[in-house]
Structure 1
Amino acid sequence: MKNLLYIFLFTLVSCASSQINKIDNSDLTGTWHWTNTDGGFGNHIHKTPEKLGKSIQLTLLKNYQFSISENGVVVSKGTYSLAMKKSIYTHQQERFIQLSNDQQYPGIVLSGIIRLQKPDVLEISDNNYDGLGSTFARAK
């Protein structure tokens, strides 16, 4: 009986601690349309869906799953994590998104400092000097 109590308490503490360590993602969940990527050395990179000829969507789910769609077709999916890292821009701890297996999409920043500029505008910056940042608009 005593062993059952220990197992129950261990399970309860394990589940509680794993949920406490999750960084809130409720404001990030939804489907986001990529609008542009800018930056680079001397701010020479400027990419848009029109220039690439592709419509890209990033979907972030509450259960920390993501998918990337190109022209309406899912091309990648997996999990993502959020951690707190020091931003080179604000010198403060900010949320940092990392996609599983370091998923990448050419011309779009998908891992880095993630923040909402407005409720419907999401930015992901690679947190590098002379780096890149991508902007996304929330799907209506």
Structure 2
Amino acid sequence: MKNLLYIVAFALISCASSQIQNINNSDFVGIWNWTSTDGGFGNHIHKTPETLGKKVQLSLQKNDQFSIIENGKEVSKGTYTLTMKKAIYSNTQERYIQLSNDEHYDGIVLSGIIRLVKPATLEISDNNYDGLGSSFVKVN
């Protein structure tokens, strides 16, 4: 009986692990130029490449690798993980991206609910009430 419980537990864990690994990322694989970050309490935060004085590119690869390029120089790279998480605004399960080094990049949201809002526009929201969200446009 004890062995049967171990087998069932292993099967459940295996299924859960494979579901996490099978989250589709093909719609946001590519190079993305950061265009803006908005939000905060009362929507008072508005940052752009012009206001921060930097051009930032986020590269997301199909093999779960990422890199961040600022003003033409690579400043960070690593892996990202996709999971499903309840989004506070839609109240549904949505894809959540987490960078391997828990990247906190000044003025830009890089971990959170990730979604394509138009064919070439990506948004990452920190999934907090009065939180921040960053927008990106696809380069290629």
Q: Same fold (TM over 0.5)?
A: yes
Question: 3-state SS of the aligned residue for 1:76?
Answer: strand
What per-residue deviation string (whole Å, max 9, x for no partner) do you get for residues 12-55 of structure 1?
xx8xx966541111111000000000000010000000011100
Cα separation, partners in 2 of 1:95 and 1:38, compared to 1, 3 Å = same
Question: 3-state SS of the aligned residue for 1:50?
Answer: helix
Question: 3-state SS of the aligned residue for 2:27?
Answer: coil
Runs of 4+ in 1 over 2 A off after TM superposition: 17-21
Which structure has the bigger radius of gyration? 1
Corresponding position: 1:38 with 2:70 = no
Give the aligned partner of residue 3 of structure 1: none
Which amino acid in 2 is paired with 1:83?
T
Structure 2: distance between partners of 1:117 and 1:76: 26
Structure 2: distance between partners of 1:130 and 1:18: 32
Cα separation, partners in 2 of 1:44 and 1:79, compared to 1, 3 Å = same
Which amino acid in 1 is paired with 2:111?
S
Corresponding position: 1:29 with 2:11 = no
Structure 2: distance between partners of 1:38 and 1:86: 21
Give the aligned partner of residue 115 of structure 1: 115
Structure 2 stretches lacking a partner, 5+ long = 1-13
What per-residue deviation string (whole Å, max 9, x for no partner) do you get for residues 68-93 of structure 1?
00011100000000000000010000
> Percent identity of the aligned residues?
70
Structure 2: distance between partners of 1:18 and 1:43: 37
Structure 1: distance between partners of 2:111 and 2:88: 15
Displacement of 1:114: 0.2
Would you say the 8 A contact 2:37–2:108 is kept in 1?
yes
Corresponding position: 1:105 with 2:100 = no
Structure 2: distance between partners of 1:20 and 1:127: 22
Structure 1: distance between partners of 2:139 and 2:51: 20
Structure 1: distance between partners of 2:115 and 2:97: 10
Displacement of 1:103: 1.2
Cα separation, partners in 2 of 1:20 and 1:113, compared to 1, 3 Å = closer
Q: Once superposed, what is the RMSD of the aligned Cα atoms?
A: 1.6
TM-score normalised per structure 1: 0.85
Displacement of 1:64: 0.1
TM-score normalised per structure 2: 0.85
